[in-house]
Amino acid sequence: MRVLVTGHLGYVGTILVPMLLEHGHEVFGLDSDLFRRCTFLPGRIRAVLGAEKDVRDVEEGDLRGFEAVLHLAALSNDPLGDLDPEVTMEINHRASVRLATLARRAGVERFVFSSSCSNYGAAGDDWLTEESPFNPVTPYGIAKVRAESEIAPLATPDFTPVLLRSATAFGVSPRLRFDLAVNNLVAWALTTGRIFLKSDGSAWRPFVHVSDMARAFVAVLEAPAAKVRGEAFNVGSTPENLRIREVAAIVGEVVPDCKVEFAEGASPDKRCYRVNCDKLPRALPAYRAEWSVRRGVEELYATYRAQGLSLAEFEGPAFQRVAHVKKLLAEGVLDPTLRHARRDPAKATG
C-alpha cells in the first residue's frame, strides 16, 4: 500500500516508518521537522522520501496517489498544547480536519487519526470504553475531541477514517521524549537517585509502549475497511492501567539505589482515567499489545545507561518538547504561530 505518514520524524513516527516498510508498504513522510536537534539514538532514523512541510500547508495535490494517510503530526502533549491554546486548536483540530477532508477529495481510501486517551480527562476511578463521555481538561485534549467529532462523519463507502486513542506512551525511540511519565521517572531515577513525582501519584493512567502504538496503526491500516470504518479504538493494554505511584514503585524495583520523592505541595492530578483497551484486539485478533510497563522500564534503564545519559542532558531542552519549542522561539527559528521564521541551521541526525 502507498502510505503517507505525517509526523514521520517524531517520537512515534520514527518507530512506525520502519515497521510499515517491514510489512511491505511504500512509505512517504511529511514533517516540519521541528525536532531535528532532538535525536537521542543517531543512526536509527529510517530515511524515506518525504516533504518538509507544515501540516497546515498541505494541499490536495500533496495527497493524490496515496492509498492511506496516517496522521501523527501534532503538538504532542498537554504542556506544549498549553503554550498557545489557539495555535493548538489550529494545528491539532482544524488542520487535522482539513487534512482528512483533502484526503477524501484526493481519493485516499483510508485515514488514520492519532487521537488520545487524554480525551477522557478528569474521569475518576471508573473504567472507560470508547462509548464513555469525554471530559478533556486541557487544550490538547479539547482539540483532539473536536477533531474526532469532525473526522469520523467524513466516512463513506470509499473513505475509511479510523480514530486511535492512544494511552500514555512510553519506551525507547530515536526521537526520545523525557516529558512522558514512564520515560521521565526512569531518567530521574538513573541520573539523580530520586524518583520525583510532581503530583501525589494517585491518578490513574493507561500506558502503551511506543512500539505497540505503532503496531496499532499498522493493524488498522491493513484491516478490512468494514471492520474499522468510522471506528474509535483505545490503544493500550487494559492490565497496564496504573496509578502513577505504582509506576514509581516499578521504577524503584528496576533502578538500584533510588527513592521516591514528592514535589513540595504535591496534590492529585485532575487528569485521571482508567481505560479499557479490549475493543481493538477483539475487532482485530491479530493485534495484541506486547509490552508491559515493567518491561518498558527495563528497556529504558538499559538504554539510558548504554547512552551514558547525564542529568544535564535529561534536564536540557532537547528531549522535552515544550522546552525545545520555547528555545526555538527564543532563537527566532519559529514565529509565534510555531511556523519556521527562518531555516534552522541544525541538521537532522539520522
Residue 253, in any domain of the structure: no
Q: Are 183 and 177 in contact (CB under 8 A)?
A: yes
The answer, yes or no, to whether residue 3 has pLDDT greater than 80, is: yes
The answer, yes or no, to whether residue 58 has pLDDT greater than 80, is: yes
Residue 312, in any domain of the structure: no
Mean pLDDT of the chain: 94
The answer, yes or no, to whether residue 267 has pLDDT greater than 80, is: no
Lowest mean pLDDT segment, chosen from 252-256, 283-287, 341-345: 341-345
Task: For residues 184-201, give the mean pLDDT.
Answer: 91
Core vs surface per residue 224-254: b (16+ CB within 10 A) or e: ebeebbbbbbbbbbbebbbbbbebbebbbeb
DSSP 122-148: EEEEEEE-TTSPP---SHHHHHHHHHH
Position 349 scores a pLDDT of: 41
User: Whole-angstrom Cα distance, residue 303 to residue 309?
Assistant: 9
Residue 184, in any domain of the structure: no
User: Whole-angstrom Cα distance, residue 182 to residue 54?
Assistant: 29
Q: Are 66 and 100 in contact (CB under 8 A)?
A: no
Look up residue 47 and give its three cell numbers: 530515511
Residue 38, in any domain of the structure: yes
Count other C-beta atoms under 10 Å from residue 158's C-beta.
10
Q: Domain tally for the chain?
A: 1
Residue 296, in any domain of the structure: no
Q: How confident is the model at residue 315 (pLDDT cuts 50, 70, 90)?
A: very high
Residue 338, in any domain of the structure: no
pLDDT tens by residue, 321-338: 999 999 999 999 999 999
The answer, yes or no, to whether residue 350 has pLDDT greater than 50, is: no
Position 197 scores a pLDDT of: 86
Lowest mean pLDDT segment, chosen from 39-48, 158-167, 248-257: 39-48
In terms of residue numbers, what domain contains 146?
2-176+207-241+274-291+326-331
Which residue would you say has higher pLDDT here, 176 or 200? 176
Q: Which residue has the cell 496522521?
A: 71
Q: How many helices (H) and strands (E) would you count in the chain?
A: 14, 14
For β-strands 204-209 and 241-243, DSSP reports them as antiparallel
Look up residue 314 and give its three cell numbers: 535529561
Position 303 scores a pLDDT of: 97
Position 123 scores a pLDDT of: 82
Q: How confident is the model at residue 200 (pLDDT cuts 50, 70, 90)?
A: confident
Lowest mean pLDDT segment, chosen from 9-13, 196-200, 286-290, 342-346: 342-346
CATH label of the domain that carries residue 131? 3.40.50.720
Q: Which residue from 110, 108, 113, 42 is spatially nearest to 73, judged by alpha carbons?
A: 113
Task: For residues 246-252, give the mean pLDDT.
Answer: 95
The answer, yes or no, to whether residue 345 has pLDDT greater than 80, is: no
Task: For residues 120-138, give the mean pLDDT.
Answer: 91
**Sheet arrangement for strand 241-243:** 168-170, 204-209, 241-243
The long-range contacts involving 50-56, CB below 8 angstroms and separated by at least 24 positions, are 50/8, 54/339, 54/340, 55/6, 55/7, 55/30, 55/91, 55/95, 55/96, 55/99, 56/90, 56/91, 56/95, 56/98, 56/339
Residue 71, in any domain of the structure: yes
Residue 185, in any domain of the structure: no
Q: How confident is the model at residue 346 (pLDDT cuts 50, 70, 90)?
A: low
The answer, yes or no, to whether residue 89 has pLDDT greater than 90, is: yes
Position 347 scores a pLDDT of: 56
Return the amino acid letter for 197. L
Lowest mean pLDDT segment, chosen from 121-135, 145-159, 242-256, 286-300: 121-135
The answer, yes or no, to whether residue 69 has pLDDT greater than 50, is: yes
Task: For residues 259-269, give the mean pLDDT.
Answer: 79
User: Whole-angstrom Cα distance, residue 288 to residue 281?
Assistant: 6
